[in-house]
Structure 1
């Protein structure tokens, strides 16, 4: 409803209360990197070989080197084969030494790892040889959890509210994240990870709605991207913790248990006042707004509060509205494609830190370090160039970086890593832009449903990203070429979208958005932070609705 922008102006577009709300919803995002990419550091490759202790029954006095030399074949480089062994025989030792063993087979009694190696997912669940694909499959299952969370939490938060979904998602992420550290079987590990993914998705997309709906027009990018900066800081913390904590179970606890320290959110986290108004809960909305005004030391005129009448309740929307109405259908399809491309290139790079040839902890630290300026710079890029141009250029750049990497020889690890870092910078900035852009395009009554649908597209790409990585067994350039092609297509599709800079959020699904006539107001400044611009845009929007 168009009156809500006036309330935000009176309240203060980004006062102390809104800053506290943004801080509250940002703190859980510090822990999300531990769930989304933490497994990379739990499956670090280590030397291994088949368990050939059978020969010790013949002669228990053999040294380790003698045992391996007699029972393991060597590869082309002269190293012991990690995935095959000589078939056991019932000969005596002198016959084995004299004639040697020739028949090979796959490891039948498991593998042996360095004794000094701390427990990892790889060593504890034998994710090597024929089982190594389970690592990428488990990552895909986690991404399927993100997909499930987007499918459930988006429409659910439009129905029951942003606050309860956010709190439930936080609790589930902490509970099942800690529970993952105690699972005895890998398949149970994957099931828990799926649930954690669903909870993490709920936290991320509900935080977007709260950050967007509690601030004014000019502060929207700042509010959303501040929470994204916390995600980038979490990535740098992950690099340090994973370097210091090599035991995967302890690392999982360290990345999940702090969520329980935020239990006090039950009493302090507010519901979105804008959502309350659209649901006709006027008295609740007034109480929340008055509390916010008190903290901001501002006053909301009584006549503005009186305009919030229950009979003006906005008609509820649903997922069918996103496809029934032409303007929303176009937005939904294009934004879903953009989110898909964002996610594919982002996770394609993030989950491949072991594939660039340098130390994985330094690579992750570099990836996390570039995310912070990437997300922060979006605040200014969105103000200077608008949403559409920024989204398009960033997507195109991230795709081009990946395509260049696909043509570089595998031995050029430094050049590959530098280009990957640049690609990660642009992919991160593009992903953050998509969050802001989507929140501004979809009306309040279906905002979380629309964002949830776009997030589902992103999670579908997240499921595919680790599976596409399996194609590197055919050629190392195939996965990175696929990761680069999708954002190039997405960047071109951006030009079909409308610009939303400086326009108040739409609340219902009836009118096209943004209003066509607003494009004629060419005298607006590129900075979308003035009150006059906001009022002029809103007046145009009201006129177009009345017509």
Structure 2
């Protein structure tokens, strides 16, 4: 394709691409932290009801000082089926008769209990505070925790759809810069949210921008990379996302207070916003949207940064030789505008989960490579937005599916496992794109399919004649 030839003239993998990735990869490492942030900021610590005779320092110090906290806990909090203190109920009155039961456990259902009307006492040994302890998202309010997580995923769904169309309309760089600033503001404000409702609203706003930061950054790298190197570049992007996940665990270990952790992963986006001014807009997108002069200007910048001498003369000659290309791309653009549519077996569980995460990461990398080679530049951001819309539907429902355990404990895991199997079978219907250049228009996609079909027929003919 013509753009691939132009890219080779200015350098398909040189100093410019290295600088572009240097500016982009750090933001990818941090943005993925927002997707997994509530694994730590919304962690549920051990808790029990607040008890007057146990947790009121004045009462416990004067009237019950001769009794140990364990004894006071026994007469104040009933035991659950695992003989652990109940998390959501307490005795209506202290059950002093339990002090005389030596190692026996009476029928707790005969004793009057009540909900935790005076609040809860939390275990702060692991996290000094979370949104759960901040707003008591436990017991009767525990479903609100899942709603908060789902709203962030819903934001990614909406943001991917809306900003995907805007990216194809106004450019990858402009929308990316807006989303970097949006995530910086919304994420920082979430760290100071006074109520859970405001926190959820800000998390939704953060989700809208987080997905676009990932997609547009990826496009600004892949659309400036030659076909022979794009698989390696996309793999580096996937590695950056994985490093971000590991980095989040370290940050959560250091910053145990949820507002501080929220702030730590949000403030860097002000820096990323400022540094994004040195990013270069996709010349491939500029060309296919009938802006060849701007595309040529960006190509000259890339050639200069890659140390290509006489770049203006070379590019002018190439543009002259491919003058018909731009007219063809313009016609293709007009054509496209008419169409777009439990503790048990813990070691084994951890091992299987690790294997599963590895498979997810590998499939995500392969999917990124395949989709970049399959979708034309003219519609790539829209397609990524639509893909995000579909994928975030699952991500939004994922936390809510865990409520199905009340019907069958294994039902959520059956659903989580069945969908990847079905998706893997459907992938077999897609055409192979290995070693083929990235398409720019619909006609490029059609030509690629005809070319791939001819190669398959030739290989089949060769095998038959050899036999």
User: TM-score if structure 1 supplies the norm length?
Assistant: 0.74
1:182 positional shift: 0.6
Whether 2:73 is the aligned partner of 1:68: answer yes
Alignment match, 2:430: 497
CA distance in 1, matches of 2:96, 2:137: 35
Alignment match, 1:132: 142
Per-residue CA deviations over 1:315-367 (Å, capped at 9, x if unaligned) read: 257687344xxxxxxxxxxxxxxxxxxxxxxxxxxxxxxx6x5xxxxxxxxxx
- 1:71 and 1:501, CA in 2 relative to 1: closer, same or farther beyond 3 A? same
1:484 positional shift: 0.8
Q: Could you say what secondary structure the match of 2:90 adopts?
A: strand
Whether 2:447 is the aligned partner of 1:447: answer no
Q: Could you say what secondary structure the match of 1:263 adopts?
A: helix
- 1:113 and 1:22, CA in 2 relative to 1: closer, same or farther beyond 3 A? same
- Asked if the contact 1:498/1:514 (under 8 Å) is kept, the reply is no
1:276 positional shift: 0.8
1:286 positional shift: 1.1
Which runs of no fewer than 5 residues in structure 2 stay unpaired? 101-107, 460-467
1:96 positional shift: 11
Match of 1:422 among 342, 355, 362: 355
- Asked if the contact 2:336/2:442 (under 8 Å) is kept, the reply is no
Whether 2:303 is the aligned partner of 1:304: answer no
- 1:421 and 1:277, CA in 2 relative to 1: closer, same or farther beyond 3 A? same
Alignment match, 1:528: none
Alignment match, 1:214: 224
1:232 positional shift: 0.9
Whether 2:449 is the aligned partner of 1:515: answer yes
Q: Could you say what secondary structure the match of 2:85 adopts?
A: coil
Which runs of no fewer than 5 residues in structure 1 stay unpaired? 324-354, 358-410, 526-547
1:208 positional shift: 2.4
Alignment match, 1:282: 292
Whether 2:154 is the aligned partner of 1:152: answer no
Alignment match, 2:211: 201
Per-residue CA deviations over 1:275-321 (Å, capped at 9, x if unaligned) read: 11112222211111011111112244432123357645242576873
- 1:523 and 1:26, CA in 2 relative to 1: closer, same or farther beyond 3 A? farther
1:132 positional shift: 1.9
Alignment match, 1:401: none
Alignment match, 1:365: none
Alignment match, 1:321: 339
Once the two structures are overlaid, the 10-residue window that deviates more, 61-70 or 26-35, is 61-70
1:465 positional shift: 1.1
Q: Could you say what secondary structure the match of 2:226 adopts?
A: coil
Per-residue CA deviations over 1:385-408 (Å, capped at 9, x if unaligned) read: xxxxxxxxxxxxxxxxxxxxxxxx
Alignment match, 1:143: 153
CA distance in 2, matches of 1:163, 1:240: 31
CA distance in 1, matches of 2:27, 2:212: 11
Q: CA RMSD in A?
A: 2.8
1:115 positional shift: 6.0
1:68 positional shift: 3.0
CA distance in 2, matches of 1:485, 1:513: 35
Once the two structures are overlaid, the 10-residue window that deviates more, 192-201 or 115-124, is 115-124
1:220 positional shift: 1.5
Equivalent residues in 2 for 1:9-48 (5 A)? 9-48=8-47
1:476 positional shift: 3.6
- Asked if the contact 1:506/1:513 (under 8 Å) is kept, the reply is no
- Asked if the contact 2:71/2:99 (under 8 Å) is kept, the reply is no
Q: Could you say what secondary structure the match of 2:266 adopts?
A: helix
Whether 2:89 is the aligned partner of 1:84: answer yes
- 1:311 and 1:430, CA in 2 relative to 1: closer, same or farther beyond 3 A? same
1:424 positional shift: 0.9
Per-residue CA deviations over 1:16-35 (Å, capped at 9, x if unaligned) read: 21222223222211112321
- Asked if the contact 1:208/1:435 (under 8 Å) is kept, the reply is no
Per-residue CA deviations over 1:223-272 (Å, capped at 9, x if unaligned) read: 22212211111111111111121111111111111122223334311110
- Asked if the contact 2:153/2:395 (under 8 Å) is kept, the reply is yes
Per-residue CA deviations over 1:70-124 (Å, capped at 9, x if unaligned) read: 33222233322111122369xxx999999x9932122222211246651122211
- Asked if the contact 2:41/2:258 (under 8 Å) is kept, the reply is yes
1:37 positional shift: 0.7
Alignment match, 2:115: 106
1:45 positional shift: 3.1
CA distance in 2, matches of 1:77, 1:422: 31
Alignment match, 1:542: none
- 1:61 and 1:12, CA in 2 relative to 1: closer, same or farther beyond 3 A? same
- Asked if the contact 2:238/2:361 (under 8 Å) is kept, the reply is no
Max radius of gyration: which structure?
A: 2
Equivalent residues in 2 for 1:202-351 (5 A)? 202-298=212-308, 299=311, 300-306=314-320, 307-308=322-323, 311-312=327-328, 313=330, 314-316=332-334, 321-323=339-341
- 1:58 and 1:481, CA in 2 relative to 1: closer, same or farther beyond 3 A? same
CA distance in 1, matches of 2:323, 2:25: 30
CA distance in 1, matches of 2:7, 2:290: 18
Q: Could you say what secondary structure the match of 2:446 adopts?
A: coil
Per-residue CA deviations over 1:475-496 (Å, capped at 9, x if unaligned) read: 4422222111001001111111
- 1:316 and 1:237, CA in 2 relative to 1: closer, same or farther beyond 3 A? farther
1:67 positional shift: 4.2
CA distance in 1, matches of 2:254, 2:42: 15
Q: Could you say what secondary structure the match of 1:85 adopts?
A: strand
Q: Could you say what secondary structure the match of 2:118 adopts?
A: coil
Q: Could you say what secondary structure the match of 1:177 adopts?
A: helix
- Asked if the contact 1:174/1:256 (under 8 Å) is kept, the reply is yes
1:150 positional shift: 0.5
User: TM-score if structure 2 supplies the norm length?
Assistant: 0.85
